[in-house]
């Protein structure tokens, strides 16, 4: 029986995952920070207290709680992390792949219209 490629990569990496996800910049919230936000939010801590605990901007915490709230208003950190990874996925679709839009851009450039 032929060994699958994934097992060979795993063995070559001495049992470590050779395809660990690339680390994210500190600009983005980490999964640990999202879990801390959830714990504080469940404990009825306000945004300002969460800000002092995490050292982030109040707008970041407020946006995170608003963007990733469930139907009942509860914050779900694992779902938030999953959505974050999906939004960051590459390659992104290009706008000019839409034929109608590409034709309009080309037509207006031929007419010397400004890009604005």
- Mean pLDDT value of segment 57-81: 91
pLDDT band at 85 (very low <50, low <70, confident <90, very high): confident
More reliable by pLDDT, 114 or 74: 74
User: What are the residue ranges spanned by the domains of the chain?
Assistant: 28-110
Q: Above pLDDT 90, what percent of the chain?
A: 42
Rounded to 10 deg, the angle between the 31-42 and 77-88 helix axes is 150
> Using one digit for the tens of pLDDT, what is the confidence trace for 7-45?
676 677 776 665 666 677 888 899 999 999 999 999 988
What token pair was written down for 58? Answer: 């109040």
Token digits of residue 34: 């999202």
Cβ atoms of 54 and 61 within 8 Å: the answer is yes
pLDDT band at 115 (very low <50, low <70, confident <90, very high): low
| Residue pointed to by tokens 């590459």 | 90
Instruction: Assign 109 to helix, strand or coil.
Output: helix
């Amino acid at each position: 029986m032929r060994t699958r490629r994934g097992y060979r990569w795993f063995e070559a990496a001495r049992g470590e995952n050779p395809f660990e996800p690339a680390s994210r910049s500190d600009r983005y919230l980490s999964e640990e920070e999202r879990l801390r936000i959830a714990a504080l939010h469940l404990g009825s801590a306000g945004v300002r207290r969460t800000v002092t605990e995490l050292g982030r901007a109040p707008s970041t915490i407020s946006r995170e709680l608003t963007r990733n709230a469930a139907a009942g208003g509860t914050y779900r950190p694992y779902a938030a992390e999953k959505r974050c990874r999906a939004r960051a996925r590459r390659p992104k679709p290009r706008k000019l792949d839409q034929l109608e839009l590409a034709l309009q851009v080309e037509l207006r450039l031929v007419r010397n219209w400004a890009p604005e």
